[in-house]
Structure 1
Amino acid sequence: MRILVLGSTGYLGGHIADRLRALPGVRLLTGGRHPDNDLRVDLATIAPSALAELVELAAPDAVVNCVGAAGGGALALVEANSRGPAVLCEALHSAAPTARLVHLGSVAEYGPTILGEQTPEEAPARPVSVYGASKLAGSLAVAASGLDAVVLRVTDPVGPGAPRAGLPGRLTAELRDALRLDLPGPVQVDDLSAHRDFVDVRDVATAAALALTAPRPLPPLLNIGSGHAVPVRDLVHGLVRASGYRGRVEEALGAVGRSPAVPWQCARITAARRELGWQPTHTLHASLTALWSADGAPARELR
């Protein structure tokens, strides 16, 4: 089975590529802007006809699209998160119409949800940020494409290799600097009062692998999360404990961001369990330990 992973050098894409390499009978192809990719392609700018030519040569049986942007302004977000999936779908229609497409969406597409409840796939999507709106447009393009396609709407990923663009990766880097330079602190963070559904990046990779190889057509949308919401404060304090950092963590209460607009996120994951036979296997404890230990730093016991 030939599987093309677009965005294989990113956080989610890298873990998904590693997971697929371990599957018997899979020939992995990578696509993106990195020089080592099998297909040198930028979904934000390439024409559908040019992408179709590359896809036809690659002849994939399945494609997973991990390409996306989380920052860089409205234009960059729309080009990567909205235009990219639409161009990919058009190219697949002409070059690989029977290939299964697994597209990674985002929980930000939902926007505000009901406090204390799990959000099902049929809940209305009302994103409050350009990022969420751009991801939603891309997911809608995939859902309306007529391809054998599924959108995996992923909650907040955490685990080894988390990038600095998100809170787990940024805080990890700041704690490493504080310990390396023996800085007394404080380490400053934004308002941590929101509740989030943190899912281990390795569990996301397993879900993508199952979706790519499922023997039957899948629903157009599946939530991928832990099914539990925890205060963001729990993640921060857990990571601090894992690091052994003894300085203060200073929280900017009421800081402006998406948390005040979306105080609660928690995905219902029963459909993914039913359709994929998937369930998360890593606890937040395990995710934070793996995140801190990823670069060889010993993790303290989390209590």
Structure 2
Amino acid sequence: MTEIVLVGASGWFGKQLLDHAPNLVAVPARDVLASRGEILRPLLAGRNRMVVNVAGARVGNHDTMQRLNVDLPRLLAEQVVNTGGHLVHLGSAAEYGTNQPDGICREESVPAPESDYGRSKLTGTTLVLEAGSASVLRVFNVAANPPQQGSPLAEISNKLALASKSGTDVELWSAGTVRDWVRPDFVIASILYAAKHRPIGLFNICSGIGVRMGESVELAIAILDSPIRVKDLRGSPPTVVIGAPERWLAASQLCEQVTPSDLAKLMCGQSGSANSVEGEHK
């Protein structure tokens, strides 16, 4: 099996990949940046190895996002091209922004990110795709128990727990907000598939299902059998971000399904439906 050079092993997805990839060499992102990518040359030369980049910065100052979301993928892409290898790079749904027509995000859509994070991730994705020999997996919102620290699910789950404990309503900034969710096992399976089969281009790692956040919180309250309610603050107009999953399904035969009920169970600290990954993963 092709050996995998993993960049970002200390991160959330990186730690999970360590448990799944049998032939894996971890290289810290800081070492890649400090060496301008030269540390990878002896690892890649003549071995046709795969580089998987799951490093990145969601929060932090401009310099941190520039280094991890832009400079790092550029250096990795350059090294992969020079050695004839392949790069699997994790992108983000934030690259699309929240104003795509009808809320549907397709790989051919014109990206319009609205945050520093989304803009820096888009720049990194563009550099990787321009270099060639890469699979960019644009990951949508991650639904996990426990949730990823700092994620929208973690924030809402904390609000639900506090409201349930105090008997107050769950205040949501915009209860009508609709998002597309994927589980970690689907993301990991997608990364490993891309590492083995090397599809070229940009792929949405999404479910194609829109989940209204207010509905999921209401279902979670019902699971908890609590008298509290959802209070919609209507702080901003609700936005819709739903991925189009067809391109990745056609390439990999892997698909995902996270329903409002599944998300509600995760908010309550329970598991969702059994296994979201369908099709073969060899």
User: TM-score w.r.t. structure 2 length?
Assistant: 0.81
Alignment of 1:1-303 (within 5 A): 1=1, 2-18=3-19, 20-21=20-21, 26-30=22-26, 39-42=27-30, 45-52=33-40, 55-56=43-44, 61-94=49-82, 97-111=83-97, 112-115=99-102, 118-146=104-132, 148-176=133-161, 182-214=165-197, 217-243=198-224, 245-255=226-236, 260=237, 263-280=239-256, 283-286=259-262, 288-290=264-266, 292-293=268-269
| CA–CA separation in structure 2 for the residues paired with 1:5 and 1:93 | 17
| Identical aligned residues as a percent | 24
| CA–CA separation in structure 2 for the residues paired with 1:269 and 1:12 | 21
Deviation at 1:171, TM superposition (A): 2.6
| CA–CA separation in structure 2 for the residues paired with 1:300 and 1:205 | 17
Letter in 2 for 1:253: R
- Tell me the SS of whatever aligns to 1:29: strand
The change in CA–CA distance for 1:251 and 1:269 in structure 2 (over 3 A counts) is: same
Number of equivalent positions: 271
Letter in 1 for 2:105: T
Counterpart of 1:34 in structure 2 is none
Deviation at 1:105, TM superposition (A): 0.5
| Alignment check: 8 A CA contact 2:211 2:260 kept | no
Partner deviation per Cα, 1:233-289 (whole Å, 9 max, x = no partner):
23333444445554344332124xxxx5x8121111111111112111554534553
Q: Which runs of 5+ in 1 are unaligned?
A: 31-38
- Tell me the SS of whatever aligns to 1:83: helix
Note the aligned Cα RMSD (angstroms): 3.1
| CA–CA separation in structure 1 for the residues paired with 2:243 and 2:250 | 15
The change in CA–CA distance for 1:300 and 1:268 in structure 2 (over 3 A counts) is: closer
Deviation at 1:16, TM superposition (A): 3.7
Letter in 2 for 1:220: G
Q: Which runs of 5+ in 2 are unaligned?
A: 274-282
| Alignment check: 8 A CA contact 1:185 1:249 kept | no
Counterpart of 1:33 in structure 2 is none
| CA–CA separation in structure 1 for the residues paired with 2:121 and 2:272 | 37
